[in-house]
Amino acid sequence: MKTRTVLITGGAGFIGSHVATELLKAGYHVRVLDNLVTQVHGDNPDRPDYLNKNVEFILGDVRNPEIVDEVLKGVDAVYHFVALVGVGQSMYQIAEYTSVNNLGTAVLLERLVKSSVRKLIVASSMSIYGEGLYVTPEGDPYPFASRTAAQLKAHEWEMATPDGRPLRPVATPETKQPSLASIYALSKYDQEQMCLVVGRAYGIPTVALRFFNAYGPFQSLSNPYTGVLAIFASRLLNRKRPMIFEDGEQLRDFVSVYDVAQACRLALEVDAAHDMVFNVGSGQTISVSNVARKLARVLGTNIEPEITGKYRVGDIRHCFPDISRAREVLGFRPKISLEQGIRDLAGWLEQQTAHDRFNEMREELTSRGLVV
């Protein structure tokens, strides 16, 4: 029997709201649980206007077992998207990140195993990889690349072997061993593995999706710990230069939230995906400085990014995904090019008011020795 009723925890957020619309279009009934955290939804939060009107919305915290019991009634499948998402912020709000991300998942799973849920999809993150995969000049995999504090202070940004040979970044597969460089990354890996472990133990088909740099309409423009494109957009809309750490040549994969939503629906519908982990990205790579310039052009401004030459503790150099597993198993096909996606984002941005809080975030991290 086809799954009909789906719960999305954190479904009033950026990705969750798009997944809700994707599922509604496919004929599912969608229920959302969200506590509308202030950092994302503002000081006086209410059900977001962008959340599809056909979504059944319930205000509540995933750490409350009574509420979780209530929202699980009649649910066939669960998307677990609840998470605090700031890498830097997680390094000083340690208890709060652990409470929401780890304890919240634990509460959900304890209640879920007593319910009629038949499928679980959990949002994971590229952050669990730490650095992406590298190869030596001879082409041999070098999976444990890292940079010392001394190298970073000397502005030696690129990766090299201990004897000084340069390393080349390549697409990172799901088989790369995690390297957890922040409390956020640790908590996302815990979320992913807790769901997979419990799914196996109780016979609940479970899928983990490791999202790369998702962007698109509805992303919070006032949250300085959100995605980099939203942060850049907030600066540009306030006629300020986007601030980029290191030298701006870090390589990333920016994936449209519409493609992310497609991958999420496929994870629900493809039986072969059970007990598997998938990278979700566009399959295209671009430097951080180039994406800032591309965004500025689309927004009709010639504001150049400012390359700060500073670095944040826990930041990585290069990481972009190998999405061949998602293509082969899920049938995932990214459809939105970066140019299309940025134009779509720009159209939405024209109707928004962005409160730039980048300097507030940077000062907070600097005061704690996390920006050098």
Active site positions, annotated = 184
Distance from C-alpha of 172 to C-alpha of 129, rounded to nearest angstrom: 8
Tokens found for residue 2: 């086809």
CA-to-CA dists, residue 90 to 42, 100, 184, 247, 265, angstroms: 20, 11, 5, 24, 29
User: Which ranges of 203-256 would DSSP assign to H, the alpha helix?
Assistant: 228-237
Radius of gyration of the chain measured on its C-alpha atoms: 20
For residues 35 and 58, give the distance between their C-alpha atoms in angstroms, rounded to a whole number: 8
Q: Which residues of 193-209 are buried (b: 16+ CB within 10 A; e: fewer)?
A: bbbbebbeeeebbbbbb
Report the C-alpha gap between 208 and 295 in whole angstroms.
30
Distance of alpha carbon 31 from alpha carbon 72, whole angstroms: 9
Q: Using DSSP, state whether 77 is helix, strand or coil.
A: strand
* Contact predicate 172/178, CB 8 Å: no
String of DSSP letters for 333-350: -----HHHHHHHHHHHHT
- β-bridge pairing 276-280 and 206-211: parallel
Are the C-beta atoms of residues 18 and 280 closer than 8 Å to each other?
no
Strands 133-135 and 168-170: antiparallel
10 Å CB burial of residue 129 (0-12, 13-18, 19+) is: buried
Q: Residue 210 and residue 321: Cα distance in Å, rounded?
A: 9
Residue 84 has a CB neighbour count (10 Å cut-off) of 22
